[in-house]
Amino acid sequence: MADSEEPEKTISDESVVGKYAAAAEISNRVLKKVIEKCVDGASCRKISEEGDELIIEECSKFFKKEKDLKRGIAFPTCVSANNCICHFSPLATEPDYILKTDDVVKIDLGAHIDGFIAVVAHTIIVGASPDKKITGRKADAFLAAYQASQAALRLLKPKTDTYAITDAVQKVCKEYDCKPIEGMLSHQLTQFRIDGQKTIIQNPSEAQRKEHEKFEIGEYEVYAMDVLVSTGTGVAREMDARVSIFKKTDEIYQLKLRASRMFYAEVIKKYDSMPFNLRNFEDEKMAKMGVNECVRNKLLNPFQVLYEKPGEIVVQFKFTVMVLPSGPSKITGLPFDESLFESEHSISDPDLKNLLQSSLKHKSTKKKKKSGKGTATASADALSNNVEKMDIDSDAKMEVEQIA
């Protein structure tokens, strides 16, 4: 973990941009490969397992000369279908879900290089064809989520109040007669921390709006912008699915059970502050025993498997964004073709229309810098442009050392 006495490393440093670049490429590559596995008859558990294996495999290809550099899974692969909102990645001993044609499937994952995290989530429809447009409530949910994510992206710039993003997401969803999932958070990302101090809440209840702190977006910060939209009430609930993903907290407690101590020691050694899936422990039975005492005493936070009401549709788009002086720089995420969706709703609010039509970048100044923050910004801008053009199927591997 980063030394707390050292100044925080940010994307004003070009070498940090290079590590984000590597993590972003890994996440984008793996996401596309995982999507290809989401076919009729496929197991969500098996897809999740293979996604995690792919992240580890891809991470091993970067910064090979730096043997002690930490790298790996920043968020375990989850495959959540239909009204399942998030975090479905079941253990071998727990019920699976088998995908069917027309299922709405959300894939969520992330990678890190030296603790610099790039996460991504994308939603697909199993068996969908470009020859047949998606209509009805599915189209409403997809277009609401996508347009809300685009509005949020354009507002992720220095000095923006985080509640401006909250309100924009809410307004876009209302245009499509949909609801953002209540209380979901988008987090600032810092080195080795997926849940940084600053957060952006979506669809807060009255109590949440009073309690949740407002923040101001800062220059050279990084965010995981996460938009989850439902055709239902937007209220998440737990059901029967067992939690499989956890994350270590900063709490201190002397565990009583030997199994718990052994389990927690392995968590610290293998994952430290990164989220992990119990499935990746060799002794799943011991892990299940150990995790209970850890959660009870707040050493671990669980990522609950959440659901909307049966029959409702939930769509998710999540991407990693660098906040630069020139504007937001989106480094993860796959293209979305709006023309494949046809809704009876559309955005009529003139302010939202202007926002969605606005450019992501400010007008650049003519002053050039050869090093320091100016170079880092140029590298990040180039990375963002490459995300749109990137051929993720290419066999050519980006040599990050050339970037950094």
Structure confidence by residue, pLDDT tens digits, 167-209:
999 999 999 999 999 999 999 999 999 999 999 999 999 999 9
Per residue in 347-360, pLDDT tens?
999 999 999 999 88
Cα 330 to chain centroid, rounded:
12
pLDDT number for residue 291 = 96
At 118, is the pLDDT very low, low, confident or very high (cuts 50, 70, 90)?
very high
**Average pLDDT across the chain, whole number:** 90
CA neighbor of 179 nearest in space, from 85, 276, 271, 70: 85
Quick one: average pLDDT of 110-119? 98
Per residue in 228-284, pLDDT tens?
999 999 999 999 999 999 999 999 999 999 999 999 999 999 999 999 999 999 888
Buried residues in 34-63 as b, exposed as e (16+ CB within 10 A): bbebbeeebbbbebbbbbbebbeebbebbb
CA neighbor of 74 nearest in space, from 125, 133, 117, 105: 117
pLDDT number for residue 360 = 86
Percent of the chain, pLDDT > 70?
88
Are the C-beta atoms of 98 and 90 separated by less than 8 Å? no
Is 219's pLDDT higher than 50?
yes
Is 389's pLDDT higher than 60?
no
Higher confidence at residue 7 or residue 101?
101
pLDDT number for residue 387 = 45
pLDDT number for residue 369 = 47
Least reliable range by pLDDT among 98-102, 146-150, 190-194, 379-383: 379-383
Are the C-beta atoms of 120 and 189 separated by less than 8 Å? no
d(CA 344, CA 312): 18
* Contact residues for 23 (Cβ-Cβ < 8 A; gap 6+): 74, 110, 111, 112, 113, 116, 117, 118
Task: Identify the bridge partners of residue 75 per DSSP, sorted by sequence position.
Answer: 110
At 404, is the pLDDT very low, low, confident or very high (cuts 50, 70, 90)?
very low
Is 138's pLDDT higher than 50?
yes
Are the C-beta atoms of 329 and 154 separated by less than 8 Å? no
| Sign, Cα dihedral of 174, 175, 178, 181 | negative
Tell me 202's DSSP state. Answer: S
Cα 242 to chain centroid, rounded:
21
pLDDT number for residue 376 = 60
